[in-house]
Structure 1
């Protein structure tokens, strides 16, 4: 073999090595980022699950009758990772007594029995479903000892009851058909316990329902940010690992994590979602996630928890740790200057809800905006 032929073979081998190395580097560079093995994977031992679009530029209302809407807001977006411990130490709203039927958002019919009725008998007389159409239906008894209304309890005795149906929710206002179903269910309960109901005027209650639905439609906001990968995509484990550092835990739905509220039974402060198919993949570490959605249901979270500030902090921390850019739902990057006007609009929204005794995060607001 001549020196020339040997040189060609060596040159060809070097070219082949360079091509293979380049392809390996490209594959590695474009592969979804994986969680660091030194850290525990939050998916291996699931934490207790906590579960019950407003583009990035403006605060708008979401109709209760199913019309879509979205928004966002709050100060201090410096683009650096943040420590949420201070935010997590915010005061917890005290428990309210207005968690049951309330004339502010319910049509209520008093029911007086001919004689005392046991809680067991009252429970047996309740209709099998607790809805009238799309609206929640409930019956309460007045506990003389505790001097409060409550869901009938075994072992207690009641003389006075009240049946109620919610005037509005995110599916719309109570209508005449739903009111009629409410009357039928309440009358059936009253007949079963030998009691007489006193129903409110249907037209009056339906008119109240429409007015309440109009107010709620104009003051319902669900805030949404999108965090998009600048370069390499993320694996589901990588997303979960970085979110777990900020206090988010696995939700009940694949591809969903939540920042839990401080009190038991309360909705999450904010949610993080990504492609559910990637989360359920047979090999999730090979699944590519290019964007995640951070959202806040404004009416469900008390303003004292500063939910929007925490949403921004989480977005900033994840953006830096994962090399992502914060966008609106159309994929347009959001500069920090867009946040302050949204924050001001959000504070006005909180004030309007307060003035109507439907403060964000209150029991009544959580019922109405559901």
Structure 2
């Protein structure tokens, strides 16, 4: 072999090696980021089935326009310039359930019909007489009994005795206001129960209640809000495990559905403070490490969460922390980066919204608000 041939062979080998190295580097650079090995304590905590329970609530997301948020590309800093302590922010107190209005029927958001019985009715008889469904159209329907021993209204229970009953249907929810057809279904269900226990029902006027339902629905429509952010990857995509690991560091736990994580409040059984969502198909992939996630969503259902949790502030903090940790950029629902000047006006609007809900005795996070905005 001549010197020229040898030189060409060496050059060709070097070029081939460079091509292979470049392709390998490009493949690794563009591959979805994977979760790092977890410490035993953290892994055990995430695997704990008790932490996988998601407080449930109904509701459809209503996205806020994109210009309503702030560009948090470089993270979030409070006005005083000090760093935000997320460990403290994620431990805000929540008012106990005992401090709020009882969970049963309430004339503020329910149509209520009294049922007078001729004699005390057993809980077993009441349970046998209940209608098979607990809805009138799209509205929740319920029957309560006045417990002879405790003198408290409650859902009929076996082994108890009741001296009176009341039936109720919700005036409005996110499906709209109670209409005449739903009111008629409420009357039929209540009458059937009354006949079974030999009770005399006293129904309110349908037209007045339907008008009240429309007024309440109008108020609810004007004071409903669900904020939604999108976090988009700047360069390399994320794997589901990578998203879960970074979210878990901020207190998120797996939700009830694939591709859903929730940040719980401190009181068990209440709706989550924040919800993080990503592509369901990526979450269900056979090899999640190879699934590429380009964006995730962060959402807050405002009426479902107590004001004292400071949910909007915590949403901003979590978004900033995730953007920094995952090399992401905060966008609106259409993927447009958010302007820096838009966050404070939204915070001010939310404070006004909270005040108006408080003034209507429908404070955000309360049992009545959770029912109305569901």
Question: With structure 1 as the length reference, what TM-score do the two structures score?
Answer: 0.92
Q: 2:95 aligns with which of 93, 112, 127?
A: 93
Aligned to 2:76: 77
Aligned to 1:228: 232
Q: 2:303 aligns with which of 277, 299, 306?
A: 299
* Structure 1 CA distance for aligned equivalents of residues 38 and 222 of structure 2: 49
The answer to whether the Cα contact below 8 Å between 1:133 and 1:178 also exists between their aligned partners in 2 is yes
Structure 1 residues 342, 97: CA separation in 2 closer, same or farther (over 3 Å shift)? closer
Aligned to 1:179: 183
Aligned to 2:3: 3
Partner-residue secondary structure (3-state), 2:210: helix
Partner-residue secondary structure (3-state), 2:68: coil
Q: What root-mean-square deviation, in Å, do the aligned CA atoms of Structure 1 and Structure 2 show? A: 2.0
The answer to whether the Cα contact below 8 Å between 1:120 and 1:155 also exists between their aligned partners in 2 is yes
The answer to whether the Cα contact below 8 Å between 1:55 and 1:225 also exists between their aligned partners in 2 is no
Aligned to 1:58: 68
Structure 1 residues 127, 239: CA separation in 2 closer, same or farther (over 3 Å shift)? same
The answer to whether the Cα contact below 8 Å between 1:78 and 1:316 also exists between their aligned partners in 2 is no
How many Å apart are 1:163 and its aligned residue?
0.2
* Structure 2 CA distance for aligned equivalents of residues 45 and 145 of structure 1: 40
Partner-residue secondary structure (3-state), 1:360: coil
Q: Whose helix fraction is larger, Structure 1's or Structure 2's?
A: 2
Aligned to 1:240: 244
Structure 1 residues 44, 32: CA separation in 2 closer, same or farther (over 3 Å shift)? farther
Aligned to 2:202: 198
Q: Which runs of 5+ in 2 are unaligned?
A: 57-62
Partner-residue secondary structure (3-state), 1:18: helix
Question: With structure 2 as the length reference, what TM-score do the two structures score?
Answer: 0.91
Verify: 1:141 aligned to 2:145, yes or no.
Answer: yes
Structure 1 residues 368, 214: CA separation in 2 closer, same or farther (over 3 Å shift)? same
Q: Which runs of 5+ in 1 are unaligned?
A: 60-70
Aligned to 2:133: 129
The answer to whether the Cα contact below 8 Å between 2:76 and 2:84 also exists between their aligned partners in 1 is no
How many Å apart are 1:81 and its aligned residue?
8.2
Aligned to 2:356: 352
Deviations 1:35-84 (A, max 9, x none): 1124466876653221401134339xxxxxxxxxxx9xxxx922998543
